Amino acid sequence: MGSCPCKQPGRSIARFRSNPSGSGLCGWPAALRRLPIAELLAAHRALHPIPQRPLRDPWEMVNTFLDPCAMCAGTIYWAGIGRVLYGAEETALLALTGDHPENPTLALPCRTVFASGQRPTEVLGPVPALRDEITALHRDFWQ
């Protein structure tokens, strides 16, 4: 998985990918070190600015490969990130993984999670031009 927080369209501040080992996450609570997913890393960076580049404004956007899962959407919401752009639907991943024990997909689109909140979160996606490329990456990984 991959995620990229941006201050404005086309200007990423950092890039993250899922890190199953949890390495490099010293100081994080143990429960979070076991869940080092890209969206969580991006949201954590939004709450804790990059030392060399002080955060002056809230992150405007997180770009991610897939429709953020319910847990990622909640993390994005609580980090105060107001816009999400994703390339492919979570159902595209479910079609590849089926009942794989390492990806028990929760069928709950991020739009549903964000609509339950008290502040708006704009959701852009899926992006049809990216769907095939994204699903190909995941197909290679899960097979």
What is the extent of the structural domain holding 118?
A: 2-142
Q: Which residue would you say has higher pLDDT here, 115 or 22?
A: 115
Rounded Cα distance between 41 and 5, Å, is 10
User: Residue 132 above 70 pLDDT?
Assistant: yes
Residue 121 Cα to chain centre, angstroms: 14
Rounded Cα distance between 75 and 83, Å, is 13
Query: So what's the pLDDT on residue 19?
Result: 46
Banded model confidence at residue 61, pLDDT cuts 50, 70, 90: confident
Q: Is the pTM of this model over 0.85?
A: no
- Residue 99's domain is classified under what CATH number? 3.40.140.10
How many structural domains are present in the chain? 1
Rounded Cα distance between 34 and 2, Å, is 17
Banded model confidence at residue 119, pLDDT cuts 50, 70, 90: confident
Q: What angle do CA 106, 24, 56 make, to 5 degrees?
A: 80
User: Residue 67 above 80 pLDDT?
Assistant: yes
**What pLDDT, in 10s, does the model give residues 102-111?**
878 788 999 9
Dihedral sign of CA atoms 130, 7, 106, 41 in order = positive
